[in-house]
Amino acid sequence: MTDAEQSTGGDTGGGSGSLWVSAAVVGAIAVLTAAIALGGVLLRERPYTYDLSTPEDAMASARLMLERGDARRLGDLIEASNENERRLYRQLGAALGHLQDLAITVREEMPEELARYQKDLEDAAARGEPVTFFDRIAARRRGEIKRAPDQRGAEIFRGSPARARINAVLQGMMADPYVWIESSEERLTFAEMDEDMVALLWDERPVPPLGWVMRRQTDGRWQLVLPLHAPGISQAAPQSDDEFLIWGSLLASLDNVLVELDEEIRAGRHSTFESVSDSMFEKIAIPAVMIMYAYGQAMEARGEP
């Protein structure tokens, strides 16, 4: 045995040298396994791509987002003219995603209440009453649905006509928040305004209340244009960084409420739609009033030096 063999333990095939080789092999396998696993996770979590190359494709993509449980991406369908708007629409998308989660929870945890609600809608439709969001707005514009007299805030309390209308809207949000998108294939069409803009038509009429359009972006995508510059809206639309932050805090509050309601329903704390809508209203009402008061103050300060 040579001095070199003695210094290495006398076994070049099974001593510390082979242990180092074995450790290296095991380490390489572990790294490779981790890489494969990470690659699988990244592949699963890779966001879907959606076709927005035509107005029709954009609406089909909206329906596909709902089918995939990807409602958070609905905010991507809205045109943003600056980074503040894009950030706000991302927050809106997060809230829309949690709204879809809430609707799924309602379907799983409150099937009897959902069936009752849908039966009430079917009965109302059979009587010729407007039941969809757009139909109700159109009926109000035609004078078929009258606004209750203003009672300077008193109507928000339980039992008032305004509170009943609020509950109806909230219950519709819970039961089927995106039914209008799902039914858009039959009722939504497009009228070309120019080569880069189309008007949205619901039952061959402009979408109420102000009319909506879609515009082709420079990258070829078609996106919905919110009527932020329409008379009566432009002044109320956010303009400064601070105003966008205030609107963002409002969306964040709504988002938190949706998550809380989802947890409450799964914990069995609600047995009726009315209970859920009451809880939703009471959770969001006070924060919304405070946030909008802050927004009013910010609007008043626009012209101040």
Residue 72 lies in a domain: yes
pLDDT in tens, 168-221: 777 777 777 787 777 677 788 999 999 999 999 988 888 877 788 999 999 999
Residue 49 lies in a domain: no
Residue 15 lies in a domain: no
Residue 221 lies in a domain: yes
Domain of 182 in residue numbering reads as: 55-300
The pLDDT of residue 155 is 47
**One-letter amino acid identity for 105?**
T
Distance CA 242, CA 240 (A): 5
Report the predicted TM-score, pTM, of the whole model to 2 decimal places. 0.72
Whether residue 47 has a cis bond before it, omega within 30° of 0:
no
Residue 96 lies in a domain: yes
Residue 305 lies in a domain: no
Query: Residues 6 or more apart from 85 whose CB is under 8 A from it?
Result: 244
| Between 243 and 30, residue with greater pLDDT | 243
Mean pLDDT confidence for 271-291: 89
The string over 242-266, giving b where at least 16 C-beta atoms fall within 10 Å of a residue's C-beta and e elsewhere, is: ebbbbbbbbbebbbebbeebbebbe
Residue 27 lies in a domain: no
Residue 114 has pLDDT above 90, yes or no: no
Distance CA 139, CA 165 (A): 14
Token output for 22: 């074995």
Residue 135 lies in a domain: yes
| 200 neighbors 207 (Cβ within 8 angstroms) | yes
pLDDT in tens, 56-92: 999 999 999 988 999 999 999 999 999 999 999 999 9
**One-letter amino acid identity for 36?**
I
What's the domain count of the chain? Answer: 1
pLDDT in tens, 6-46: 444 444 444 544 444 444 444 444 443 443 343 444 334 55
Neighbours of 107 (CB within 10 A): 13
